[in-house]
Structure 1
Amino acid sequence: MAVDGLTTIPSGFGPQDTMNRLETAVKAKGMTVFARIDHAAGAAAVGLPLRPTELLIFGNARGGTPLMQSVQTIGIDLPLKALVWQDASGKTWLSYNDPDWLAKRHGLGGETEAAVKMMTGALAAVAKAATTG
């Protein structure tokens, strides 16, 4: 399941627990949760089936602003997003955009390297906290 720029990791928990753990980890890192979108609930509301699929939108102005100061178009990919979803076999996954890939996509220069590295580490940490015991 290789998609360019997308990091996808398996979770040892179900979708609801994984998302709750992710939200807790994001807040513990001092980031703001802007929205939690339950795509499956939206599908159900219009009579369509969808396995558990939930998106968390979160970020930190101290981390994202330097990137937007360099190249404003990265604002279309910020704040950060993480998707918790369940496949057809019942396995839960967590997916997010790789900050290095986002930096390349928008042509960010070396002056943003430290901020991108910090964002990459923070994402990896909250993903690990959400998916492992």
Structure 2
Amino acid sequence: MRRSHILASLAAALVVMGSAHAQPAPAPSPVTTPVPNADGVIQLHSANDFDTTLARLKADVAAKGIRFFDAIDQTGLGDGAGLKIRRSTLVLFGNPPLGVQFLQANPYAGLDWPVRMLVLEDAQGDVWLAWTDFNHIARRYRITNRDAQFKMASEVAASIAAAAATR
């Protein structure tokens, strides 16, 4: 395992261990890395296999009371079209009272809401979670009056990814 993967896994584990207190403090952001050739996309390496990562992501969304919209099996879509790709599932979820505030600020932000988180397996068999950086979304739609909401969305997405990525 590469050093960056080990560090990311350890950081994510610390986030989860810190949640055992009766009054949990906001989880620190996991160690993420930018995705090459994809502006505004961040990723987190998972210590789990694909199925476990996906199941843990869905479970954490449910545990947080966040609305689950759908999971799109992109590999299955490719298979149906006779096109092979590595394992890839796009999960859509969100909290309408939070997300709709972005739509109020700029209706075109609906192109990025609800939240999308991708679980994918790379050529080496490593599993990753990827999502759009909320600061990038704010810049993309020139939303300058919702900093606290973007901060909250960033923290929640990082927390969900960390819960899915740790053992």
User: When the two structures are superposed, what TM-score results if normalisation uses the length of structure 1?
Assistant: 0.94
Shift of 1:127: 0.4
CA distance in 1, matches of 2:107, 2:162: 29
Q: Which residue of 2 aligns with 1:66?
A: 101
The answer for the alignment partner of 1:124 in structure 2 is: 158
One of 111, 120, 129 as aligned partner of 1:76: 111
Identity %: 33
Q: Count matched residues.
A: 132
Q: CA deviation at 1:48?
A: 2.3
Paired residue for 1:18, among 49, 53, 78? 53
Q: Which moved more, 1:38-47 or 1:12-21?
A: 38-47
How far apart, CA to CA, are the structure 2 residues paired with 1:66 and 1:103? 12
- Distance in 2, matches of 1:46 and 1:72, equals 33
Secondary structure, aligned partner of 2:119 = strand
Is the partner of 1:36 in helix, strand or coil? strand
Tell whether 2:72 aligns with 1:41.
Answer: no
Unaligned runs of 5+ in 2: 1-34
Q: Offset at 1:26? A: 1.1
Alpha-carbon distance in 2 for matches of 1:41, 1:102: 29
Larger Rg: 2
Deviation per CA, 1:15-36, whole angstroms, max 9, x where unpaired? 1111111011111121111110
- Separation in structure 2 between the aligned mates of residue 65 and residue 49 of structure 1, nearest angstrom: 36
CA RMSD of aligned residues (A): 1.0
Paired position in structure 2 for 1:103: 138
